[in-house]
Structure 1
Amino acid sequence: MMQKIQLSAPQPTETPNRFRRDLPSALGQMKYDIHLFNSGLKLFIIHTRLNQPVQIQAMASNPLVGFGFCVDGSFDTFFSSKLPITTKAGDSGFFSCPSHIEITDHIPSDRLLRIYLMLEGEILSSFTKGDEDYFSFALKSLDKKQPSRIVHPITPLMQAALHQILHCPYCGKAGHLYLESKAMELLSHKLAQLHPSDGCRNFKLKRADYERIIHVAEILVNNMENPPDTIELARIVGLSCSKLQRCFRRVYGVSPFEYLRNHRLQTARQLLQKGEINVTEASLRVGYTNLSYFSKAFKIMFGIPPGQLLHNPPHR
């Protein structure tokens, strides 16, 4: 039977505006860091590697609006007695939650890495400075006293910001400023994903085209070992090749080829971190037949050769 626990209250650390939560050590490893910024934005970084599956229960004391990024693993979330919402690696969710509702996460014994950006409902209006349209979905759901969520894939630009957050090169005040800037960058990428036509008056993306581009990304992710070429992708979603390229870059900030490459390398990194396969197997698993080319691309993206993950896996 899955063990139920209540999260402890956040405890201050030696670093100002940084807090942590602890889990009973007998259950396994958990690193739960909370960073508070003057803007009202909160950054949560949660690593878990448990000895057994656990139910973690919490109560939302205030209305919340947030953005979740599942970097590794998967888990289920229950709001009160409703059906579970499953989140897996590569998912980026925009969610809202009214006050006085019970939230239960079913955390597996496998490795799980999540990052959240959170805003309390009371400061939402001041944070958006009149641009409530960005959060109209969340505001309406809060008015109805119902939890809601919109899920999109994590984009390569988000992946880069997440990687920099997880590998902050500074400590103290410099580290706090660095993390705040990266949290803001991550928020901007998420807002652009939610409102693809905003911020580009010369090229407004229609909702139907936006959904076609999301479908293209799904096709690439699901067929990364043998993906269709641009001509075939364009035929599948009913766009011209030039419009596909233009719209895809508008949504994801990179070309379809760059998106596929980044997803392949991120997937290979996750496989190597688990330590179940070697570099050659990881390369083939994600669609690289040239090991030398794979190793070079991996080092360019992550700053280390892939073999180093096997000998020195990152601490979780």
Structure 2
Amino acid sequence: MKIIQPGAPQSTPDPNRFKVALPSFLGRGGCDIDVFSSGLKLIVMNTVLHQPIQIQRTIAEPFVGIGFCMAGEFDVSFMPSKTQSNIRAGQSGLYTYPQDIEISEYLPVDHMLRIYLMLEGDLLSSFTQGDEDYFSPVIKSFEKKRSNRMVHATTHLMRAVLYQILHCPYCGKARHLYLESKAMELLSHKLAQLQPSYICPGNELKHSDYDRVIYAAKSLVDNLDNPPNTKELARSVGLSCSKLNRYFRRVYGVTPFEYLRNHRLQTAMQLLQSGEINVTEAALSVGYANLSYFSKAFKTMFGVPPGEFLHNSTPN
């Protein structure tokens, strides 16, 4: 296995954007880095390796990172703690890195697609100011200057934002503003995931009603090709249609119909990403009989038609 050090970022005509190209003898692709005035950095790593490699780097300054693995699988270890973890597609995590820590990533021959948010210094603390009690475990681990990792599944809301980032429709300053807003949106989804009970006062649900919403969501996911309508779903969990919609919004931030649509499109996206089926098969498998309607909904969520998505899934 070849051991390499990450290359120095190269400047671009955009002063806030940098690139790191993968050496051609190792594979294809590289890394795009966008730096924002808020203190956030957005990093997109999209590569196809010809041989397995080990990337070694030393963290000179402490920071918090939020990572989303969208394709591929790799192992990462931290020194001096010598802890090692396996990261797979579909996972997202929050990492706190102290100063002078060594990181080694072990990448196999594979297509790798990852997106990172980097928060320098005490930026996370500033974002959570006033709500420290909710996020104290994360903040305390950073203040104690030790590495910490929290890994969760990437939610459907996160995936939608991630693919909007990958298929940004703008350029120039509009692109910069668009990507910064999406980076902030990702951060908000991750903070909400860290503390799922962190909801606005007055929006709390009784445990029984919360369980009804969870069961309703599962009923939709289990029947993508033939889901119950709103009346049937409400009746099955013992709620009125209005209460089901209201409670569903409190738990998931969307109505049952929107939740179903998002899950259908996320599932179709994953099927297309596998490269094993075509657009028509993906649409039918998640309950879309109208291909034109499916294509329109897919483009609205991910910013690109499903056919074009197939060609944009791997780096050139």
TM-score, normalization: structure 1? 0.78
Q: Alpha carbons of 1:66 and 1:135: their partners in 2 closer, same or farther (altered >3 Å)?
A: farther
User: By how many angstroms is 1:305 displaced?
Assistant: 4.7
Which amino acid is 2:183 matched to?
A
- Report if aligned partners of 1:12, 1:18 keep a CA contact under 8 Å in 2: yes
Q: State the alpha-carbon separation in 1 of the partners of residues 53 and 207 from structure 2.
A: 40
Q: CA RMSD in A?
A: 3.7
State the match for 1:112 in structure 2. 112
How far did 1:15 drift? 1.0
Per-residue CA distance 1:112-143 (angstroms, 9 max, x = gap): 22111111234444444444345422222231
How far apart are residue 296 of structure 1 and its match? 5.5
Deviations 1:175-224 (A, max 9, x none): 21221122112222222333344452111368999899789878976x57
Distance 1:108 1:215, change over 3 A: farther
Distance across 1 between alignment mates of 2:63 and 2:109:
27
Contact 1:65 1:138 in 2 (8 A): no
Structure 1 equivalent of residue 136 of structure 2: 136
- Paired residues of 1:40 and 1:127 also in contact (CA < 8 A): no
Q: Taking structure 1 as reference, are residues 202 and 113 closer, same or farther at Cα in structure 2, changes over 3 Å only?
A: same
Determine the structure 1 residue equivalent to 2:268: 268
CA distance in 1: counterparts of 2:259 and 2:232, whole angstroms: 16
Range that drifts further, 123-132 or 77-86: 123-132
How far off is 1:35 after superposition?
A: 1.4
Residues 164, 303 of structure 2: 8 Å contact kept: no
Question: Structure 2: which 5+ runs fail to align?
Answer: none
What is the number of equivalent residue pairs in this alignment?
Answer: 308
Aligned to 1:48: 47
2:30: which partner in 1? 31
Q: Does the CA-based 8 Å contact 2:265-2:298 persist in structure 1?
A: yes
User: Helix, strand or coil for the counterpart of 1:83?
Assistant: strand
Indicate yes or no: 2:112 matched with 1:82.
no
Deviation at 1:307, TM superposition (A): 3.8
Alignment of 1:200-239 (within 5 A): 200-204=200-204, 223=222
Of structures 1 and 2, the one scoring higher in RCO (CA 8 A, sep 6+) is: 2
Q: Alignment partner of 1:4: what SS?
A: strand
Specify the SS of the correspondent of 1:85.
strand
Rounded to whole Å, the distance in 2 between the matches of 1:209 and 1:95 is 34
Aligned CA distance change for structure 1 residues 75 and 42 (closer, same or farther; 3 Å): same
Instruction: Report the equivalent of 1:155.
Output: 156
How far apart are the structure 1 equivalents of 2:74 and 2:2?
A: 15
